[in-house]
Structures are given as structure tokens and as C-alpha cells.
Amino acid sequence: MAIQIGDNIPEITLLQKNDEGVHKLQLAETNGKNRVLLFFPGAGTGVCTSEMCSISDDLNTYQGLDAEVYGISVDSPFAQYVWAKAHNITTPLLSDFNKEAIEAFGAKYDVWLPGINDMNGVAKRSAFVFNKEGKLIHSEILENAGDLPDFEKVKDALKQSSGS
């Protein structure tokens, strides 16, 4: 069963590549901050690039709401790193290469773009907001990969969590 409002962040470790190398990040370790997890189908695609560039441009807003924001896809951390460098994406990206997170969050396409790409096990575009205690306070899972989450609702959830 997929994660529900009020549930804790699943105990899942994902990989992140940066200039220093590849590191492991525990999703459940919120460090006393709100956490926004944005799942996207694939690095290098047009809508995903637009979304992560837009989020990168708005990171200060999220930081002002005491939130850490991560983009998550099933791409390898190395592919994510190259893509982020090429497009100046500063949102930290996490690799769910083993597809544990998309399963736990209920954010997995069985078949992405049937009849076109027919890719199995790709992340559905979605947004999950966790408060500082690691409890889910907002979620949105989209069926159409061309749609974007409602980022105003994400920010509203963060404001309510912070009491702003």
C-alpha cells in the first residue's frame, strides 16, 4: 500500500552524486527540516528539465520555509549528475535506481508511455511534503507525465507546517 497522509518517511537509502563523489542519503533523516520529495520520470526529458530548473530557481523560497527539496528518479546518479551540470540544476537529485522509493510511495508507472517508450518501472511525476517530524502532510501523484504538481499547494503545506 502506498504512503498515506500522517505516515512517516519510509526508511529508504538513495544515492546522490555531486562533485565529491557518490553519497548515500537516508530519506527519513530530516535533520529537523521539512522535506519535499519530487519524483520525476527521467533525466533529460523536456518536462523534467523544465521542472527541475524551475525548482532550482525557486530553492530560496523553499529554504525560507525551512525545507529541503530533492528530485528523485530511477536514473543512475551519474546520469543525473551529468544532466544537472548541463542544465544548471541545483536541486539535489537522488537516484532510486533500485526502484524502492517509487514502490513505497506508490509513484511507479507499470508502463510509461505505452506504445511509445514502453518503459517499465519509471517514477510518476509527484510531490510529497513531510513536516519536521517526518510525517507526510501533502501528496500529489500525477498520471500524466506532462503535468506538473501544484507547487502552490506544496508551499501552502510547508507554510502550515511552519505556522506561517
pLDDT tens, 92-144? 999 999 999 999 999 998 765 556 666 678 899 999 999 999 999 999 999 88
Q: Other C-beta atoms within 10 Å of 1: how many? A: 6
Please state, in angstroms and rounded to a whole number, the distance separating the CA atoms of residues 89 and 93: 9
- AA letter at 67: A
Q: Which of 21-25, 103-107, 141-145, 159-163 has the lowest mean pLDDT?
A: 159-163
The H or E element that residue 102 is part of is helix 100-105
> Which pLDDT does position 119 carry in this prediction?
61
Task: Look up residue 103 and give its DSSP letter.
Answer: H
The H or E element that residue 87 is part of is helix 77-87
Q: Judge whether 16 and 49 are in contact, CB under 8 Å.
A: no
Break the chain into its structural domains and give their ranges: 45-162
Instruction: Tell me the CB-side half-sphere exposure of residue 41, using CA atoms within 13 A.
Output: 24
Please state, in angstroms and rounded to a whole number, the distance separating the CA atoms of residues 14 and 27: 7
Instruction: Give tens-digit pLDDT for 50-64.
Output: 999 999 999 999 999
Provide the percentage of residues in the chain whose pLDDT is more than 70.
Answer: 93
Instruction: Quote the pTM value.
Output: 0.93
CATH of 45-162, one of 3.30.420.40, 3.40.30.10, 3.40.50.1460, 3.30.479.30: 3.40.30.10
Please state, in angstroms and rounded to a whole number, the distance separating the CA atoms of residues 105 and 54: 23
